[in-house]
Structure 1
Amino acid sequence: MTKNHYKSRKSIKYNLFFTFVYLMLIFPEFRNIFYMRMGRFWRYLLFWFPPLSTLHIWTPSARIGGGLYIGHGWGTVINAYRIGRNCVIGQNCTIGSRNLKEPVLEDNVKVWAHAVVLGDIVVEENSNIGAGAVVVKNVPKSSVVVPAKSSIIRMNGEKVNILL
């Protein structure tokens, strides 16, 4: 994946106006980020280019670095204290507060599908949060976080512990 996903599109290298219209038509996640950054000034576009209703961004735009890419924003809630540059957030992720304290995502952090990042923690730069992981403690720089292995705990009415 390139550093700037939207600029990497082959068909949008020519005209700024057509690039903007293309992104607004094709990428509903881009619309949500655009409206969040522009505030109320651009709200008249909502009729023609409605935002994705299942993507909720509650982080103030001044605290979100450039290059944020949200892939398939369905079921995604973003309520971070700060998000660094060139971050990637997958579908159905929750980045939110715990005890009224929000997480910080530093530069080049990737949060993949169905991951949950909660509380007063810092996910340091160049880290990856794997699909389905639940993070409630600080993540060191250049780390990869994955969920625990799945296991069978009950089979045929009996308690077992079989790792899958």
Structure 2
Amino acid sequence: MKNSKTMTFYFIKTWLLIMIFSVLISGGLLYRLFEIQDETKSFWLIILSNLSFFFSLRFVFFLSISSVIIFLNNYESVRKNRFYSLATYCLIPFATLFYFMAGDLPMDESNFDILKSGWKFSAMLLLPHLIISFIAYLHFRKMLKSRKLQQD
């Protein structure tokens, strides 16, 4: 029972760290993208920029909440299989990034700048979460290998 509590506590800490860092990093990147503090904008453009920023940040927050599936690593069958374990950390952000990128491909390729800016926006939303999740996965595998997290 103690091992299960230790692993659950580890995943709670990891999940919270993924959420916090993902929201902070994506929020900083989005803040720069929307140029919230730009004083040359009109009043309505400032309101639209702020709304876009908060809706985008809300998406990052919900994406971070969806990383709750890392708790599936409490099951030995998932924990022992490296692919399943990696999927619990990175599948949702990777699939979402792939979906956004593939969804933009049917656009008119003659206007590559629009396509590139859409991919940049998607990357700002999703890549920080994906990278942080992958780092958390590598840390988890290292902890398992060094036996600091006892297996059942």
- Taking CA–CA contacts closer than 8 Å with sequence separation of 6 or more, which of the two structures ends up with the larger relative contact order? 2
TM-score (norm 1): 0.20
TM-score (norm 2): 0.21
The structure with the largest helix share of the pair is 2
